Structure 1
Amino acid sequence: MKEGKAWVGDEVFDKDAEQLAIVHDVRQGVFVLRPVNGWHTWTNPQQDRLTVTTPREDRVNS
């Protein structure tokens, strides 16, 4: 998380896609997401539609 909001490496719930995802990248303020188990990607430009379920730090240390 960066300043309490979703950032690269965080596991999030995308409210628009209605699924869990990993923040893969952020490009010019647009979040690039991928499924927890898979490699296709989609984007979501609205950070407020992403809820962090597991911060990157917790995912790396588990």
Structure 2
Amino acid sequence: MSDERSPWVGDLIHDEAPCRRGIVTDVRGGTVWVLRPEWGQGQWASRHPGRLTLIRPREDVRDQL
């Protein structure tokens, strides 16, 4: 991750493994990040927060709505 903090709920991220952008919707037990696509439907999970790159923190994402 390029940011000092781990991505958290509401953050826009890039997940290296599936090469997808998404928004964090849940963090379960601090070990599983649940993500949904930036646009469209579906979800996926990541157990590797080191592969998640913060693109935009939730505060900035919220300002765009």
> What TM-score does the superposition give when structure 2 sets the normalisation length?
0.84
Aligned length, in residue pairs: 60
Residue identity over aligned pairs, in percent, reads 42
CA distance in 2, matches of 1:57, 1:40: 23
CA distance in 1, matches of 2:34, 2:63: 23
Deviations 1:23-42 (A, max 9, x none): 01111220001100022111
> What TM-score does the superposition give when structure 1 sets the normalisation length?
0.88
Structure 2, gaps ≥5 residues long = none
List structure 1 segments (4+ residues) > 6 angstroms apart after TM superposition: none
C-alpha deviation, 1:58, in angstroms: 0.5
Structure 1, gaps ≥5 residues long = none
Match of residue 11 from structure 1: 12
Secondary structure (helix, strand or coil) at the match of 2:23 reads: strand
Amino acid at match of 1:36: E
CA distance in 2, matches of 1:38, 1:61: 20
Deviations 1:13-54 (A, max 9, x none): 000010111001111220001100022111000111100001
